[in-house]
Amino acid sequence: MKDEKYIGCWYCDNILDHPDQIGLLYLGFPRCFVLIPNSFEFDFYTFDDFLLNAEVNWLDPNEKREPDEETRVLTLLWNFSVEQENEEERLYMEREDEDL
């Protein structure tokens, strides 16, 4: 069975209405949606850039959460986005190799 370390994480896009934006969604606790306003720049972000530029929306604003929980979720979403991108690139390259 595959290790599911990102089970509550989702990579979201809406290329029809918001082609330059992406979202990262976390459905564990505390639930969070992170809007990346410029997906091109995001490719070059460091973690610090991510924290400075992303629009973080806590989906349950009345729920009490600790700052370390917020940091844990944002770090998890950052790591997820990096691995997601790496996997997309790997699959793309695999398909390219098959087409040769």
Per-residue confidence (pLDDT) for residue 3, from 0 to 100: 75
Note down the domain range covering 65: 9-99
* Model confidence, pTM: 0.89
Kindly state the DSSP code that residue 44 receives in the 8-state scheme: T
Instruction: Express each pLDDT in 85-97 by its tens digit.
Output: 999 999 999 988 8
Report if residue 3 sits inside a domain: no
* Mean pLDDT, the chain, whole residue set: 93
Region 68-75 average pLDDT: 97
Per-residue confidence (pLDDT) for residue 1, from 0 to 100: 56
The C-alpha R_g of the chain, in whole angstroms, comes to 15
User: What are the two backbone dihedrals, phi and then psi, of residue 52, each rounded to the nearest 5 degrees?
Assistant: -80, -35
Q: Structural domain tally of the chain? A: 1
Burial of 86 (0-12, 13-18, 19+ CB in 10 A): exposed
Per-residue confidence (pLDDT) for residue 73, from 0 to 100: 97
Report if residue 4 sits inside a domain: no
